Chain A
């Protein structure tokens, strides 16, 4: 029975990581439902972007208050992981504070973890106040009702509790060290949790051990649970921000892709030698490619990765000229809808042995309305604002393409504009022969 805790710990760890791996597999499968897109270019620029934007948080600090708070939570998350490593090894090996032979380095590490933990608590409280008391505009937009709001708060609660457990565990440990309890040799520095110690005054050694063990177990089990919460949450960004900034747009923001399928057809149309009655070549006999996107499978996989990476911060929406002037378009909603629909498609596949069976729904109309799509000015403010290189505009354009090229469903004025271009080479009904008249007016 001596090894019972070790075994329980190992089982919990395997379960936690195993369940997470299963979700990662599902996540990867869903992202791969997207069309292929060539992202093998500009490798060094891509690595730089990842280092600068994800690792360096450069776009977060554009808004200093939220940015600096976020950096604290982010650094806290990364650094405290060293402590999690120790906890995992202790749990498996039945040791206590395995890294303590590092001596003064260990003291320094534990001390800085404690300070970070306190700062994380402060940041999390500030975040909560911003969301729930100050109610900053971008957190209370219509798309944030229900689960997104709960999710946002839930993350803050979990982080708060984890940090409190971490500090409680350290405080109890510190108390036990001073009491000279068995196994609790002197190790670590406790600049923050020392202030919790007086709460344990008068408690017996066994009670304090019980507190220490409980906090230790809840802390690590909480971390494993949080890991598995990610897939269901906007918090997935802590992992996906890295690949997403790598695969993000490296071309000038104004450059939209040219559809190759269209190029082929236009070249054929303009080729005077082409035989319009020729039988289609063997490989063309397949169903003609759909132009634009009406559902998530029509988007490319980077756009789907974008959707899973979105952490619903709403910076895009708060910079969007359409949204600012009361239109229905919200770039954040475009991303949230894409993810929700993709999840729905994934669930249908799970229920049908990996095959997608149409549910009569699609991204267009059932999630995103044409009214939203047509309100976009393609100004790229949303793309610029995103701290993790998400491109909502590319999805909007892809869906406009479907509306126009597959459904001829552009607003009437735009149809007029386009027939003008077709007929006289200008968006207005002026004769091409008058193009030079401005010189003499």
Chain B
């Protein structure tokens, strides 16, 4: 439907006898979830604009096993991890970039002791690197006059202390950044972590995402930006619960950037 994205698989790189600059780890959400697929596309548009020579694993990619691990299924996690490591090491992958903080965390922190050692970046860190190196330039007024609040994904922020990259990117769109009361180290979870995404919540008096979006809406934002496909879903649902879906949009940082450049 839209313009053609340039996406090459590792198999294609191998056939050409080449190595990509980075491997884009799309993740299960980025591959299959309708909302998250748009984030993958937005990120690829930016990679294409910056002429990054990147690869995906395509049909060879499989779940990192992260969610199984959080649920307590260490067996399944390690099975997935070792299969993925065999594949990644076979391709001699050095650098991995992903839009999913959960994949980011497990690839970066939990794969090494199982034999998978890679330089792993969250897409916001990589995009910032592209801009800093002058490979990606942003033009125009972008989101001037718009208020954006950033929701820190737990596994990006608190878990791995990545707070600045997404905020610096958002600032580059000339938007007005507003912080929620609970942000960075003390940010409130969206409610999806720890495998909650895949089950009904336990009995309580409120859903976590409704509480989190309440905090986000208190900043009077035009856009709630985040950097995680699961947070995205939870925040989007939360906005609907507050009946604010007409005035507030939930976007990934990559989408904010891509939109600001008319991509």
Of A265, A319, A374, A400, the contact of B199 (CB 8 Å cutoff): A374
In this assembly, does B80 line the interface, its C-beta being within 8 Å of a C-beta of chain A? yes
For residue A82, which residues in chain B have a CB less than 8 angstroms away from its CB?
none
Pick out which of these stretches binds chain B: A133-141, A306-314, A412-420. Answer: A412-420
In this assembly, does B192 line the interface, its C-beta being within 8 Å of a C-beta of chain A? yes
| Cross-chain contact B72 with A400 (CB below 8 angstroms) | yes
A321-B195 contact in complex given A252-B109, A327-B201, A430-B32, C-beta closer than 8 Å: no
Of B41, B75, B160, B205, the contact of A325 (CB 8 Å cutoff): B205
| Cross-chain contact A327 with B74 (CB below 8 angstroms) | no
Of A252, A321, A422, the contact of B208 (CB 8 Å cutoff): A321
Give the interface SS of chain A, mostly helix, strand, loop or mixed: helix
| Cross-chain contact A421 with B202 (CB below 8 angstroms) | no
For residue A428, which residues in chain B have a CB less than 8 angstroms away from its CB?
28, 32-33
Those of B141-184 within 8 Å (CB) of chain A: 154-155, 158-161
In this assembly, does A427 line the interface, its C-beta being within 8 Å of a C-beta of chain B? yes
Most chain B beta-carbon neighbours within 10 Å: one of A327, A375, A414, A427 = A427
| Cross-chain contact B31 with A405 (CB below 8 angstroms) | no
For residue B9, which residues in chain A have a CB less than 8 angstroms away from its CB?
436
State how many residues of chain B have any CB contact under 8 Å with chain A: 74
One digit per residue, 1 when the CB lies within 8 angstroms of any chain B CB and 0 when it does not, for chain A 386-413 equals: 0000000000010111111100001101
Bound complex: CA A321 to CA B207 (Å): 9
Considering the complex, give the chain A residue whose CB is closest to the CB of B83: A270
For residue B15, which residues in chain A have a CB less than 8 angstroms away from its CB?
none
In this assembly, does B218 line the interface, its C-beta being within 8 Å of a C-beta of chain A? no
For residue A321, which residues in chain B have a CB less than 8 angstroms away from its CB?
188-189, 191, 208, 211-212
Of A263, A401, A413, the contact of B114 (CB 8 Å cutoff): A263
Of A252, A292, A399, A417, the contact of B160 (CB 8 Å cutoff): A252
In this assembly, does A379 line the interface, its C-beta being within 8 Å of a C-beta of chain B? yes
| Cross-chain contact B76 with A259 (CB below 8 angstroms) | no
| Cross-chain contact A401 with B110 (CB below 8 angstroms) | no
In this assembly, does B247 line the interface, its C-beta being within 8 Å of a C-beta of chain A? no
Bound complex: CA A400 to CA B196 (Å): 13
| Cross-chain contact A418 with B71 (CB below 8 angstroms) | yes
For residue A328, which residues in chain B have a CB less than 8 angstroms away from its CB?
202-203
| Cross-chain contact A435 with B61 (CB below 8 angstroms) | yes
In this assembly, does B7 line the interface, its C-beta being within 8 Å of a C-beta of chain A? yes
Considering the complex, give the chain B residue whose CB is closest to the CB of A370: B202
Bound complex: CA A376 to CA B208 (Å): 11
| Cross-chain contact A326 with B37 (CB below 8 angstroms) | no
Bound complex: CA A379 to CA B82 (Å): 25
A325-B72 contact in complex given A379-B189, A421-B65, A428-B32, C-beta closer than 8 Å: no
Bound complex: CA A262 to CA B77 (Å): 10
Q: How far is the CB of A10 from chain B (nearest CB, A)?
A: 51
Those of B7-25 within 8 Å (CB) of chain A: 7, 9
In this assembly, does B79 line the interface, its C-beta being within 8 Å of a C-beta of chain A? yes
A417-B67 contact in complex given A254-B155, A379-B154, A438-B40, C-beta closer than 8 Å: yes
A405-B74 contact in complex given A378-B194, A380-B159, A438-B40, C-beta closer than 8 Å: yes
In this assembly, does B204 line the interface, its C-beta being within 8 Å of a C-beta of chain A? yes
For residue B95, which residues in chain A have a CB less than 8 angstroms away from its CB?
none
| Cross-chain contact B63 with A421 (CB below 8 angstroms) | yes
Those of B201-223 within 8 Å (CB) of chain A: 201-208, 210-212
| Cross-chain contact A371 with B72 (CB below 8 angstroms) | no
In this assembly, does A434 line the interface, its C-beta being within 8 Å of a C-beta of chain B? yes
Of B33, B67, B78, B192, the contact of A258 (CB 8 Å cutoff): B78
Listed in ascending order, the chain A residues whose CB lies under 8 Å from chain B are 251-256, 258-259, 262-263, 265-267, 269-270, 291-292, 319, 321-322, 324-329, 371, 374-381, 384-385, 397, 399-405, 410-411, 413-414, 416-418, 421-422, 425-428, 430, 432-441
A selection of 28 A-B contacts at a CB cut-off of 8 Å is: A252-B159, A254-B158, A254-B159, A255-B110, A258-B78, A263-B78, A270-B82, A327-B203, A327-B204, A328-B202, A377-B189, A377-B194, A378-B193, A379-B193, A381-B188, A402-B72, A417-B67, A418-B71, A418-B73, A421-B63, A432-B62, A435-B31, A435-B32, A435-B59, A436-B9, A436-B56, A438-B30, A439-B44
Additional A-B contacts beyond A321-B188, A410-B71, A436-B58 (13; CB < 8 A): A256-B69, A258-B78, A265-B75, A322-B204, A400-B71, A414-B71, A418-B68, A418-B71, A421-B68, A425-B63, A426-B28, A426-B31, A427-B197
